């Protein structure tokens, strides 16, 4: 999802709708983009926070399970290959298959809750990190990818996408 140029018009429209709905539930495009900027500026990566919370003045993200640094590093490595394969999981013959499968099994039950500080800005939203298509196909949830990994420029383009 993070490579805007390689997306088809249908994919761009799908991601546009998904991200726009999430942004509206967080207070609008600007608040959502401000959240993304705060996530990108945070060092170390917010996902490895021991208290399983990322807070800022406009809202917060909470999740129910700790993510360890080694899992985050593996996720960052395999997510770049997902768009080429259409699957987060490598081939079963790949030497990293078991590591990636364990990563998915470990992170799959996590639920992320994103809520604005003030309820009048929106109800917030929640999501899980993966979309399990079938037993052998798993993809990153586009909201998870956009919130924690994609460039802000790509997310802006998708939020402002208009079909031609």
User: How many domains does the chain fold into?
Assistant: 1
Average pLDDT over residues 108-132: 93
- Residue 164, pLDDT > 80, answer no
Domain annotation covers residue 164? no
Q: What is the mean pLDDT of the chain?
A: 92
User: Is the residue at 59 inside a domain?
Assistant: yes
Whether this model's pTM surpasses 0.85: yes
In a domain, 34, yes or no: yes
Q: How confident is the model at residue 98 (pLDDT cuts 50, 70, 90)?
A: very high
Using pLDDT thresholds of 50, 70 and 90, give the confidence band for residue 160: very high
Residue 14 belongs to a domain: yes
Q: What is the pLDDT of residues 128-147, one digit of tens each?
A: 999 988 888 899 999 999 99
Distance linking the first and last C-alpha atoms of the chain: 20
Q: Looking at the predicted structure, is the pLDDT value of residue 2 above 90?
A: no
pLDDT the model gives residue 163: 79
Q: Does residue 134 fall inside a structural domain?
A: yes
Give the pLDDT mean for 116-137. Answer: 91
pLDDT of the residue at 31: 94
Domain that includes residue 122, residue range: 4-159
């Amino acid at each position: 999802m993070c490579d805007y140029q390689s997306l088809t018009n249908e994919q761009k429209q799908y991601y546009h709708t998904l991200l726009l709905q999430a942004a509206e539930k967080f207070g609008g495009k600007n608040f959502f983009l401000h959240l993304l900027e705060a996530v990108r500026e945070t060092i170390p990566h917010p996902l490895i926070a021991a208290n399983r919370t990322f807070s800022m003045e406009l809202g917060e993200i909470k999740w129910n399970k700790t993510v360890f640094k080694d899992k985050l590093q593996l996720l960052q490595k395999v997510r770049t290959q997902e768009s080429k394969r259409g699957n987060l999981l490598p081939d079963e013959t790949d030497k990293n298959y078991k590591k990636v499968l364990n990563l998915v099994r470990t992170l799959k039950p996590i639920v992320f809750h994103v809520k604005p500080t003030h309820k009048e800005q929106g109800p917030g939203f929640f999501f899980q990190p993966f979309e399990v298509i079938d037993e052998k196909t798993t993809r990153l949830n586009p909201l998870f990818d956009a919130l924690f990994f994609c460039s802000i420029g790509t997310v802006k383009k998708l939020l402002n996408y208009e079909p031609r």
